Chains A and B, each alone.
Chain A
């Protein structure tokens, strides 16, 4: 039931782009994306709903393929502040979110 994230870790240079993927074996109502910096709480980035509606960060984009039960988070022109661990959370019903194991992103200057 836990979504699978890939890759597990990414190292980029500042200004480069990254894509983080999230897939589920179950039909999804929504996908949530959060970023967590070391020692801090997860911070909301984006929600994607079944049917195409989105809510979230202006500088981050994401896609949600309902048929494939997959979502991707796109980080363009990465900045040092983007470093952290990115979690996708999936809702398969009943209003609870199940989080993946995370993707660690490290941005080099």
Chain B
């Protein structure tokens, strides 16, 4: 497809479980961003990759959150021991390269609900 895709679109899990959220960026985009959006709030920065490496992970809330992008394309956001406060829409975005001149293209998001 032409756009950013994310799977699953919805994920319901129980407190304490492990979840993985996947992002497929636009082909050729080297920068990939993860955000978390709660109801009525703006996207909250979590981490971004330039290529395979995490260039900035300062937004990850704690060590239960981890993200990888092993081949510089698809990325997976991993959340261990989920808590009810992790419930949110997780957005992925990609851009041609990182940097302020490059618009980010957002995926449709994964709605995570922790019961």
Contact = CB atoms under 8 A, between A and B. Distances in A.
Contacts of A56: 103
A27 interface: no
Interface string B44-70: 110010100001100100000000000
Contact of A30 (B48, B101, B106): B101
A43 interface: yes
A57 B4 CA distance: 20
A98 B55 CA distance: 15
A97 to B, nearest CB: 7
A74 interface: no
Nearest to A98: B45
Contacts of B50: 95
A89 B98 CA distance: 14
A29 interface: yes
Contacts of A55: 101, 103
- Residue of A30, A42, A47, A56 with most chain B CB atoms under a 10 A cut-off: A42
A89 B43 CA distance: 9
A40 B91 CA distance: 10
A102 to B, nearest CB: 5
10 contacts: A32-B104, A44-B104, A47-B101, A55-B103, A94-B56, A95-B55, A95-B56, A97-B100, A97-B104, A99-B43
Interface of A: 2, 29-30, 32, 34, 40-44, 47, 49, 53, 55-56, 87, 89, 91, 94-102
Interface of B: 4, 31, 33, 35, 40-45, 48, 50, 55-56, 59, 91, 98-101, 103-109
